[in-house]
Amino acid sequence: MEAYDRLAVELEKIGVKKSNMFGMPVLKIGKKPICGWWEDGINFKLESGSKTYQFALSLEGSHMFQPVMKNGRVMNMKNWIIVPFKHESHYTKLAAASIEMVESELAR
């Protein structure tokens, strides 16, 4: 959780706030989540197929975020990639891409 807290402190400067959503701690711009802490990493909302999305998936141990619900159903969250804590040096870059994606959604 330390990596999540460090990222939160860094992003607070630009208006990102801590919250909870999907049963996990998240960082949000307004009411929209940009990333969250889940098990062994941080998941980021990234544009599917983008260079940043592909980069995130290329990091060792990274994978699509597919949480299992209490009823056993697997949720396929196609725009969310979990990036293990060992890649924390990339978190600011990935968060910036998440913020850009969310802001473009809000502008529509």
> For position 69, what pLDDT does the model report?
79
> For position 1, what pLDDT does the model report?
72
In contact, 76 and 34? CB cutoff 8 Å: no
Cα–Cα dist 73/6, whole Å: 32
Give per-10-residue mean pLDDT for the chain (108 aa): 93 95 90 94 95 97 88 86 97 97 86
Using alpha carbons, list the distances in angstroms from residue 27 to 50, 71, 87, 102.
Answer: 21, 26, 18, 12
Amino acid at 32: K
Which of the 8 DSSP states describes residue 11? H
> For position 77, what pLDDT does the model report?
83
- The residue with tokens 């807290």 is 5
> For position 75, what pLDDT does the model report?
81
Q: Which two tokens stand for residue 15?
A: 């208006």
> For position 3, what pLDDT does the model report?
95
pTM for this prediction: 0.91
Extended strands (E) in 15-107: 17-21, 24-29, 32-38, 41-45, 63-64, 80-84
> For position 95, what pLDDT does the model report?
97
